[in-house]
């Protein structure tokens, strides 16, 4: 009896599930029939989770680029249709969305603005089947086939800023603190090499669990007693805010300089004026960076989104560059054939908020800025032009 009930229930359940799958597929099929001409781009960015504070500017900046490209005739005459997809959760959730985008929505290209753990999972899922453009600052080393990186690399971000801290701010000893995942650990490997090259030493290296409700009184006390000249921070988002506010609260900001490797406008707003004294950052874009290109970009951004425009930051402008990179890449290759794209990527020039960028070796050379915090604003201290990306991807 019980078995029979169980069997019936299971059959009903299966029937329901099949019906559900059929229903779920139907709109997808109709949708693709209607808009066969659209160039479909899946955009991975943070709609949820700890990085979701970047979400609004990621989407807005990408949307601005899509509008501009579509107004200028789209990609090879096809209008871009954006598929905004959440990448703020665990990597396994994002790869599931990627499978759906590939099989059901049949996207032509993917753009990713998310952490490195998710990137590694996505590369393994996409298997070079569609071109994948990765945008935010990262730890280097991504050379997968049909993958194009427009992010700041360690040679561009970490080497110049660490060298500057040591040569011009006379920092000899460093304390490394970061979140416990692939980006901070690999970035610190690079940093240790650059610090050693300049004859400095590492006092201590510690990591806090990524995504846990961390507090930093104990770590800051350890730093206080270790007395380094500088702290190199690879904490992200709320952890970065918490740490820096605690650090300044304990009064260490006067004697010990801090260099944060992911410090942009949103995070600095959280850290606040009373936490940002003697704190430095190095990026290829700040909202107040000089230059015609940035002025033009900002005019368009604020014309489109008005007073309610999300806070500008490099995390967003790199999405803007990502969409422009997609257009240039596909048009130069005359389609999305992987081999043609890989060939086209060498010497490819496309537009970014910082002006035109040229890609070779699947990466981009850039102008880098070293900035200090003045209250909740960045003040550019040093501009370094044409910094080579230094990644050694073998040409495919």
Partner 1 sequence: MDPLIVTQALNVVYGVTTLALLVLGLAVIFGLLGVLNIAHGEFIMTGAYCAYVTQANGWPFLAALPLALIICGALGFVVERGLIRPLYARPFDTLVATWGLSLLLRKLTEAIFGMGFYNVDVPLPGTVALLGTDYPAYRLVLIAISGAVLIGLFVWFRISRTGTRIKAMVGNRELAEAVGLPVRRLATYTFVIGTCLAGLAGVLIAPLVPVQPFMGLDYVLKTFFVLVVGGLGTVMGVLSGAAVIGGLDSVVSAAIDATYGYLTVLVVAILFLWLKPRGLFARS
CB of 251 to partner 1, least distance (A): 4
CB of 249 to partner 1, least distance (A): 4
CB of 176 to partner 1, least distance (A): 12
Q: Which is nearer to partner 1, 149 or 263 (CB)?
A: 263
CB of 9 to partner 1, least distance (A): 23
CB of 2 to partner 1, least distance (A): 26
CB of 265 to partner 1, least distance (A): 9
Q: Which is nearer to partner 1, 276 or 352 (CB)?
A: 276
Question: What is d(CA 291, CA 285) in angstroms, rounded to the nearest whole number?
Answer: 11
Per-residue three-class SS string for 153-178: CHHHHHHHHHHHHHHCCCCCEEEEEE
Q: Which is nearer to partner 1, 194 or 216 (CB)?
A: 216
CB of 152 to partner 1, least distance (A): 22
Q: Which is nearer to partner 1, 149 or 279 (CB)?
A: 279
Q: Which is nearer to partner 1, 78 or 245 (CB)?
A: 245
**Which spans of this chain sit near partner 1 (rule: CB under 8 A)?**
50, 52-53, 55-56, 180, 206-209, 212-219, 221-222, 224-225, 238, 241-242, 245-246, 249-251, 266-267, 269-275, 310-311
123: its two tokens: 């590369």
Q: Which is nearer to partner 1, 50 or 390 (CB)?
A: 50
Question: What is d(CA 218, CA 385) in angstroms, rounded to the nearest whole number?
Answer: 40
Contact 70, 63 (CB under 8 A): no
CB of 188 to partner 1, least distance (A): 15
Q: C-alpha distances in angstroms, 375 versus 205, 271, 276, 284? A: 28, 9, 6, 20
Q: Which is nearer to partner 1, 168 or 274 (CB)?
A: 274
Question: What is d(CA 289, CA 319) in angstroms, rounded to the nearest whole number?
Answer: 17
Contact 81, 57 (CB under 8 A): no
Contact 383, 369 (CB under 8 A): yes
What pairing do the DSSP bridges indicate for beta strands 348-352 and 257-260?
Answer: unpaired
Contact 362, 153 (CB under 8 A): no
Phi, psi at residue 192, to the nearest 5°? Answer: -60, -40
In the block, tokens 């952490």 appear at 115
CA torsion, points 122, 125, 129, 130, in degrees to nearest 10? Answer: -30
CB of 383 to partner 1, least distance (A): 27
Residue 134: partners with Cβ closer than 8 Å, 6 or more residues away: 112, 119, 142, 147, 148, 149, 150, 151
Q: Which is nearer to partner 1, 309 or 384 (CB)?
A: 309
Question: What is d(CA 109, CA 82) in angstroms, rounded to the nearest whole number?
Answer: 10
CB of 90 to partner 1, least distance (A): 15
In the block, tokens 């099949």 appear at 18
Paired with 363 in beta bridges are 360
Q: Which is nearer to partner 1, 132 or 247 (CB)?
A: 247
Q: C-alpha distances in angstroms, 200 versus 163, 170, 175, 184? A: 10, 10, 11, 19
In the block, tokens 């099929």 appear at 29
- Helix orientation angle between 154-167 and 182-197, rounded to the nearest 10 degrees: 50
Q: Which is nearer to partner 1, 252 or 359 (CB)?
A: 252
């Amino acid at each position: 009896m019980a078995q029979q009930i169980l069997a019936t229930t299971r059959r009903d359940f299966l029937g329901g599930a099949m019906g559900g799958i059929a229903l779920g597929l139907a709109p997808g099929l109709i949708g693709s029939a209607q808009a066969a001409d659209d160039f479909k781009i899946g955009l991975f960015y943070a709609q949820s989770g700890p990085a979701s504070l970047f979400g609004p500017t990621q989407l807005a900046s990408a949307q601005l680029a899509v509008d501009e490209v579509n107004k200028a005739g789209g990609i090879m005459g096809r209008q871009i249709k954006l598929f905004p997809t959440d990448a703020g959760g665990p990597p396994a959730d994002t790869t599931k969305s990627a499978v759906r985008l590939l099989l059901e929505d049949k996207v032509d290209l993917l753009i990713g603005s998310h952490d490195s753990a998710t990137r590694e999972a996505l590369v393994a899922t996409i298997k070079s089947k569609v071109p994948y453009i990765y945008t935010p600052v990262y730890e280097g080393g991504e050379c997968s086939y049909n993958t194009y990186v427009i992010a700041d690399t360690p040679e561009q971000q970490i080497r110049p800023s660490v060298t500057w801290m040591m040569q011009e701010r006379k920092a000899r000893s460093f304390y490394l603190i970061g979140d416990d995942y692939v980006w901070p650990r690999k970035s610190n490997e690079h940093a240790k090499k650059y610090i050693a090259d300049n004859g400095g030493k590492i006092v201590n290296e510690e990591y806090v669990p990524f995504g846990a409700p961390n507090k930093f009184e104990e770590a800051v006390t350890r730093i206080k007693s270790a007395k380094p000249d500088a702290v190199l921070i690879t904490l992200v988002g709320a952890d970065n805010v918490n740490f820096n506010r605690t650090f300044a609260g304990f009064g260490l900001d006067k004697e010990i300089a801090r260099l944060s490797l992911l410090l942009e406008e949103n995070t600095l707003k959280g850290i606040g004026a009373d936490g940002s004294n003697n704190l430095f950052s190095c990026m290829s874009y700040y909202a107040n960076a000089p230059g015609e290109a940035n002025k033009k970009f900002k005019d368009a951004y604020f014309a489109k989104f008005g007073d309610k425009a999300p806070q500008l930051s490099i995390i967003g402008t790199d999405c803007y560059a990502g969409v422009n990179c997609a257009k240039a890449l596909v048009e130069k290759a005359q389609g999305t054939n992987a081999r043609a794209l890989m060939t086209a990527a060498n010497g490819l020039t496309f537009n970014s908020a910082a002006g035109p960028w040229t890609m070779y070796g699947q990466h981009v050379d850039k102008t880098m800025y070293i900035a200090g915090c003045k209250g909740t604003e960045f003040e550019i201290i040093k501009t370094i032009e044409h910094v080579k990306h230094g990644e050694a991807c073998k040409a495919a």
